[in-house]
């Protein structure tokens, strides 16, 4: 019998993406303090967050396969997580305006036997220049506040994006090709190819 799969995330976007693989899974949020350490590079921070989320949920859900992820937006070496308030979201959107930024997602897995595995994916997103009015209208929508970098590619912010180089699902929060390969290594059950 295959160990149950648990997605260590409350993100509806990650739930929808993972469902595309045709696997049944449970959801258990892996809440950890999301603060970079001094001198910690963005890649290290995202990987540490994903591993910590997986470990927290693995402690609560023994004998299950735990999948966790963390996505960060990086501009000029600065990590943009989820905005703390409207001013923070505005600052992030202003920084993204008219520029290309990096979106990094680390995915960590702890299988039922306690084996650990992870993947790391980077995409590049180019925004067109945004007007102050566009930013305020987008902030009024409420969409930016639970998303790294204060925007969602799958939502209203799509209109701001000129180009995505790399995995689009990575920008949304779960790099599907890499996640499918990761799960195939640890779950004997059939994993569908992402749509």
31, 70, 85, 117: the active-site residue: 70
Residue 48 φ/ψ region, left for φ over 0, alpha for ψ in the -120 to 50 degree band, beta for the rest? alpha
Mean pLDDT to the nearest integer, 139-155: 93
> Lowest mean pLDDT: which of 41-45, 172-176, 184-188?
184-188
How far, in Å, CA of 186 to CA of 109, rounded?
9
CATH 3.90.950.10 fits 5-186, yes or no: yes
pLDDT digits (tens, 9 = 90+) for 21-66: 888 899 998 788 888 888 899 999 999 999 999 999 999 999 999 9
Is 0.75 topped by the overall pTM? yes
Q: Would residue 70 show up in a list of annotated catalytic residues for this protein?
A: yes
In which residue are the tokens 């036997």 written? 113
């Amino acid at each position: 019998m295959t160990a149950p799969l648990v997605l260590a995330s409350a993100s509806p976007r990650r739930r929808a993406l993972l469902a595309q693989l045709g696997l049944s899974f449970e959801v258990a949020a892996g809440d950890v303090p999301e603060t970079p350490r001094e001198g910690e590079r963005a890649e290290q921070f995202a990987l540490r967050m994903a591993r910590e989320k997986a470990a927290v949920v693995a402690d609560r859900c023994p004998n299950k396969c735990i999948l966790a992820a963390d996505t960060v937006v990086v501009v000029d070496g600065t990590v943009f997580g989820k905005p703390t308030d409207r001013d923070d979201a505005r600052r992030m959107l202003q920084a993204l305006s008219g520029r290309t930024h990096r979106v990094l997602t680390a995915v960590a897995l702890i299988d039922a036997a306690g084996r650990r595995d992870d993947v790391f994916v980077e995409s590049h997103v180019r925004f067109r220049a945004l007007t102050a009015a566009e930013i305020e209208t987008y902030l009024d929508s409420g969409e930016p506040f639970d998303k790294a970098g204060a925007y969602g590619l799958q939502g209203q912010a799509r209109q701001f994006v000129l180009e995505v180089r790399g995995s689009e699902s990575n920008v949304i929060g779960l790099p599907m090709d890499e996640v499918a390969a990761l799960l195939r290594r640890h779950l004997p059950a059939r994993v569908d190819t992402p749509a």
